[in-house]
Amino acid sequence: MPRNVAIGLGLMEFPFTGVGGYWRWVDLCEAGGVDSIWQTDRVVSREPILECMSVMAALAGRTRRLKFGVNVVSLAFRDPVLVAKQCATIDVLSEGRLLPAFGIGSPLAPEWRTLNLDTRTRGRKTDEGLEIIGRLWREDAVDFAGVHYRLSGASIAPKPVQPDLPMWIGGSSEAAIRRTARFGTGWQAGAETPSQVAPVIAGIRAAAAAEGRRIDDDHYGAGIPFRFGRVDDPGLDRLFEAYRKRTGRDPRHYFAIGEAETIVEHIASYVAAGVSKFILRPAARGDEELLAQTRRLIEEVLPRVAARWPKPAKRPVLQVAFSRPKT
């Protein structure tokens, strides 16, 4: 069972009226004890969505405690050497607070059509990219001969501050399970319910064991849209419709809507399935509504989570006294 439940907050669209509201929200998360901030990756969009790697760099400079990540980088859209360099740079500038997460990208994403990319290549390109990124973080010179990428003596410096920079993997298909088992240090669910998450986690554990690897029990995550309020609140119908269009799934099975206890029980259903790391996305629009929803989460949900799943106590450092040699 998970031992260390942590609550982060995430955004997809840019729901603020201006950048001032966004930084007020980031500062609230930093001061309020939120574990991490996450930005969805989207390159092509009619809706305002911030570019994810730029956001990571900005958060590195703005914050001092918060961790941050991308949920998830669609690696088939990006050059893996550049992504490896960007991640290493941001990890250095943030003194080790980056949480990289990668996936193949939704087949419904607009990038495939507008950028004239072949969805049939996304799995192989992602696997090659993950191998390249992991090796560039660890090795001084990388030679690689794949179907989609070829490198000769590639290197990046400085290396990431974290000696084993995390590599979270998204997706729930059989290929995603194998990909996580081979490359990942953690797994991040997408639009899966608790009943759908449990068999994926079991599959990853079995596949990782077959690879001679093990993913820590505390390195399984899920993203949940939340709202303090009612299902029929004004504006939720538009968010529900956008969710249906993006995922093809019924949002009523996925969103956590109600008071604090309802949201905590929704979290608990995922914990029972083996999840311990959460990205909660406020179902809200506009500065004041976003801030109000986030403030209630900090004040009402975080204390309940801490009480229900207390963090394990750190082992005391053994102090050994040495006597001076006699003279």
**Tens digits of pLDDT across the chain (327 residues):** 557 999 999 999 999 999 999 999 999 999 999 999 999 999 999 999 999 999 999 999 999 999 999 999 999 999 999 999 999 999 999 999 999 999 998 777 888 889 888 888 999 999 999 999 999 999 999 999 999 999 999 999 999 999 889 999 999 999 999 999 999 999 999 889 999 999 999 999 999 999 999 999 999 999 999 999 998 888 788 888 877 877 777 887 789 999 999 999 999 999 999 999 999 999 998 999 999 999 999 999 999 999 999 987 766 544 444 344 444
Alpha carbon 298 to chain centroid, angstroms = 19
Q: Which helix (H) or strand (E) holds 93?
A: helix 80-93
- The DSSP output letter for 103 is E
Rg over alpha carbons for the chain, rounded to the nearest Å, is: 21
pLDDT (0 to 100) of residue 315: 60
**3-class SS of residue 224:** strand
Going by CATH, does the domain composed of 6-308 fall within 3.20.20.30? yes
- The conformation of residue 235, written as its DSSP 8-state character, comes to T
pTM: 0.91
- Domain boundaries of the chain, sorted by first residue: 6-308
| DSSP helix/strand/coil, 137 | helix
Strands 101-103 and 168-170: parallel
SS3 19: helix
All residues at 6 or more sequence positions from 242 whose CB lies less than 8 Å from its CB, including other chains: none
Provide the pLDDT for residue 1. Answer: 58
